[in-house]
Amino acid sequence: MSVNLGLKKGKGQVTALDVANELGVSISTVSRTFTPGASVSPKMEEKVLAAAKKLGYRPNVLARSLMTRKTGLIGILIKDFDNPAYLKIIDELTLAIQLRGLQALVINMAHTAGIRESVDMIMQYQVDGLVETSGSSIDPKLAEECQRVNTPLIQFGYNSKKTQTSAVCCDDFSGGMQAAELFYKMGYKNLAYIASDRSDPSMERRDGFMSVVDQKEGNKHVPIEFAGDWTYKGGVDAASQLLTTNSPPDAIFCADDIIAMGVMDAARSKFGLRVPEDLGVVGFDDIHLSDSYAYSLTTIQQPYNKMIEAALDLMNRMIEDPSRPSEVQLFSGKLVIRESHNRTRT
């Protein structure tokens, strides 16, 4: 009676063959209609499109990938879901990937099972490329495997000098410099730094910060404390250490915003200090709530949109030419002025 409108035949789905039969043409003709730049007459194209729509046909990307050797899948590796900074990254990254007609396979590296299994899983899905955002150093096994099977790998927001992998990241050094310069400009005298761990971004930010201190005050001692990780609690603990010494700092630059929030809260709640009057604080990343009344945190914002575009452009080039040498791109962060740095606010 009525046409079988897209109902699955058997367990299957509507296939190019169904469309071809509907019109009495060959499968190839249908295929070419959905292949940009292939040779097909306008009227035929129209007919195929109409039939496809009528039957509810959609090309099977996975079957296509067998021939084209492109899946359109980009793997995103994330380890540290604790840090709110990653929400923005995932958001913008997935969106940018989709706008390029690709899809994001998000891989949670917190997986307690070994890295080996994770790598296997990822590779089985034939991703066209991998973006590592974990914030920690790339696993050598993974890098090696990518090399072996010719899968582009880009490190996002983190440039390890130890590995050869391509990277797109924020200029941590200059970020650190900006923080120190701002503190001096606002009249703070005793600067300190709270690192997260010994990871490259954390150390790079310190180095930039120190370079300005050295330039202004020779090699004055600057206390450095380690939060241990990129967490609020780490910030609370590190600040507690720093503020109980006999010459506590009056300005603290933090490896990132979430640590900075811990620092501010510790200073206020445990030491009765006012921010920014008694203690200046500058963070890094500009996460959610950095602009809240509670924190109003002056911070260094990473230009994620630019970085993501650059990363995907680079990824494209690497996919086209797998033998391309690795490459590192740096983007400078933007100082976002709020109140936590401003002891002279009116």
Partner DNA sequence: GCCCATCGATGAACCGTTTCATTAAATGAA
Partner DNA sequence: TTCATTTAATGAAACGGTTCATCGATGGGC
Residues lying near a second copy in the complex (CB under 8 A) are found at 6-8, 11-13, 56, 58-63, 65-66, 69, 71, 76, 81-82, 84, 86-88, 90-91, 94-95, 98-99, 101, 103-108, 110-111, 118, 120-121, 123-126, 148-150, 232, 236, 258, 261-262, 264-266, 268-269, 288-289, 292-295
# of chain residues touching DNA (CB under 7 A)? 31
DSSP string, 71-114: --EEEEEE--TTSTHHHHHHHHHHHHHHHTT-EEEEEETT-SS-
Q: Give Cβ neighbours of residue 26 (< 8 Å, ≥ 6 apart).
A: 20
Q: State the SS3 of 193-253.
A: EEECCCCHHHHHHHHHHHHHHHHHHCCCCCCEEECCCCCHHHHHHHHHHHHCCCCCCCEEE
Kindly state the smallest distance separating residue 219's Cβ from a second copy, in Å: 35
Which one of DNA, a second copy, none is in contact with 110 (Cβ closer than 5 to 8 A by kind)?
a second copy
Distance from the Cα of residue 80 to its chain's centroid? 11
**Residues 270, 68: contact at Cβ < 8 Å?**
no
Binding piece for DNA, criterion CB under 7 A, among 40-48, 105-113, 154-162, 195-203: 40-48
Residue 67 makes contact with DNA by CB under 7 A = yes
User: Residue 248 corresponds to which tokens in the numbers above?
Assistant: 């506590």
Question: 44, 90, 335, 336: which one contacts DNA (CB under 7 A)?
Answer: 44
Q: Which does 57 bind (CB under 5 to 8 A by kind): DNA, a second copy, none?
A: DNA
* Residues 227 and 284 sit within 8 Å (Cβ to Cβ): no
Closer by beta carbon to DNA, 100 or else 334: 100
CB atoms within 10 A of CB 220: 11
Residue among 57, 193, 209, 284 that touches DNA (CB under 7 A): 57
Using the rule CB under 7 A, give the single segment among 18-26, 136-144, 263-271, 313-321 that binds DNA. 18-26
CB of 100 to DNA, least distance (A): 18
Write down the residue that tokens 């997986």 correspond to: 111
Q: Which stretch binds DNA (CB under 7 A): 34-42, 108-116, 268-276, 336-344?
A: 34-42
> Which residue from 309, 305, 314, 304 is spatially nearest to 167, judged by alpha carbons?
314
- Residue 288 partner contact from a second copy, DNA, none using kind-dependent CB cut-offs of 5 to 8 Å: a second copy
d(CA 37, CA 46): 15
According to the binding rule CB under 7 A, does residue 4 interact with DNA? no
Q: Which of a second copy, DNA, none does 95 bind, CB closer than 5 to 8 A by kind? A: a second copy
| 19/308 with CB nearer DNA | 19
Q: Residue 39 binds which one of DNA, a second copy, none, with CB within 5 to 8 A depending on kind? A: DNA
Q: What is d(CA 231, CA 290) in angstroms, rounded to the nearest whole number?
A: 14
Q: Cβ of residue 104: shortest distance to a second copy, in angstroms?
A: 5
User: 285: which residues sit within 8 A by CB, 6+ positions away?
Assistant: 85, 256, 257, 258, 299, 300, 301, 302
DSSP state of 132: E
Distance CA 18, CA 9 (A): 10
Pair of tokens at residue 126:
């034939």
Q: Which residues contact 8 (CB under 8 A, 6 or more apart)?
A: 14
Binding segment for DNA among 36-44, 102-110, 206-214, 271-279 (CB under 7 A)?
36-44
When asked if residue 39 is in the footprint of DNA (CB under 7 A), the reply is yes
Partner from a second copy, DNA, none contacting 318, C-beta within 5 to 8 A by type: none
Q: What does 342 interact with, of a second copy, DNA, none (CB < 5 to 8 A by kind)?
A: none
Binding interface with DNA (CB under 7 A): 12-13, 15-17, 24-32, 34-35, 38-41, 43-44, 57-60, 63-64, 66-68
